């Protein structure tokens, strides 16, 4: 090999060639996802905004749909109950999923992925069927408190959404940092607080958002497992959309809930920004 060919061989591959797979740009693989997002996310969002800011009779621009929300009696109490149930569900899912993710990640089993899938398999069944199955089990256990039943149903339904991101982050954690903490004399509890939790913070935040956001807006679980006392914000929105003349008010309620959820996501991102280093949250 002459010097010229050696120089050519030593040169790095051009970035443009790296971004192609068999002659196809890597960005092209995102086009189907982009199309689905436009059809099923962007377009419905604009439709919701149209209904939220228009009158149901004349179709003219109005803000009365939002005035209806703030003038409705006990609406803040219902929203407060919805956020409380969502918070409890998220906390219970986190307390159950985090130790399980740690146990699975540190297990010597060769089939850990199969064990994880056993917790995910119920997601393949229709959520309404799973909710009715929980109702039968709670009836057999003689659990009659509506709020307890709703909370248990939500924890059961949304638990896999907490487990998967936690297991993904915990299983990929740098084990040398944990070993270094133990070699320096840190107790298992201190290693958990100072090393494991900060390193797994991205998975925790992802799981919290994946559980909290749908729990706030759900209505089927409280319909099946609850009673009139467990009437949540999602039930109010569903009630308006079930009424042929209430789509405009229901859209306004949905838009306000979307703003609250977006604010929660932004707050979570702000709290976790720059906190991925060990001890960054302490």
Q: What is the DSSP letter of 40?
A: I
Residues 51 and 156: their CA atoms lie apart, in Å, by 34
| Terminal alpha carbon distance of the chain | 58
Q: What is the pLDDT of residue 108?
A: 65
Model confidence at 139, in pLDDT bands (50, 70, 90)? very high
* More confident position, 11 or 32: 32
pLDDT band at residue 155 under the 50/70/90 scheme: very high
- Asked if residue 109 has pLDDT above 80, the reply is no
20-25 contacts at long range (C-beta below 8 A, 24 or more positions apart)? none
- Among 74-88, 102-116, 138-152, 228-242, the range scoring the smallest mean pLDDT is 102-116
More confident residue, 234 or 28: 234
Residues 252 and 250: their CA atoms lie apart, in Å, by 5
pLDDT digits (tens, 9 = 90+) for 226-254: 888 888 999 999 989 887 678 999 999 99
């Amino acid at each position: 090999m002459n010097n010229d060919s050696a120089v050519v061989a030593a040169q790095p591959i051009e970035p443009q060639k790296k971004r192609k797979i068999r002659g196809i740009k890597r960005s092209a693989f995102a086009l189907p996802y982009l199309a689905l997002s436009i059809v099923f996310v962007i377009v419905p969002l604009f439709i919701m905004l149209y209904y939220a800011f228009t009158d149901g009779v004349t179709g003219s621009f109005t803000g009365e749909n939002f005035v209806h929300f703030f003038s409705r009696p006990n609406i803040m109490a219902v929203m407060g109950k919805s956020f409380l149930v969502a918070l409890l569900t998220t906390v219970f899912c986190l307390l159950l999923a985090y130790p399980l993710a740690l146990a699975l990640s540190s297990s010597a089993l060769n089939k850990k992925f199969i064990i994880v899938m056993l917790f995910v398999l119920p997601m393949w069944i229709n959520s309404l069927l799973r909710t009715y199955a929980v109702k039968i089990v709670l009836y057999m256990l003689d659990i009659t408190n509506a709020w307890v039943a709703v909370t248990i149903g939500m924890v059961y339904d949304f638990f896999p959404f907490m487990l998967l991101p936690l297991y993904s982050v915990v299983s990929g954690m740098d084990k040398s940092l944990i070993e270094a903490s133990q070699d320096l004399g840190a107790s298992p509890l201190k290693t958990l607080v100072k090393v494991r939790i900060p390193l797994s913070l991205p998975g925790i935040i992802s799981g919290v958002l994946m559980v909290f956001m749908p729990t706030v807006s759900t209505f089927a679980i409280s319909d099946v497992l609850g009673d009139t006392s467990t009437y949540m914000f999602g039930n109010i929105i569903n009630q308006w959309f079930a009424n042929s003349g209430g789509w405009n008010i229901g859209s306004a309620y949905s838009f306000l809930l979307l703003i609250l959820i977006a604010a929660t996501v932004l707050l979570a991102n702000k709290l976790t920004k720059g906190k991925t280093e060990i001890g960054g949250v302490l």
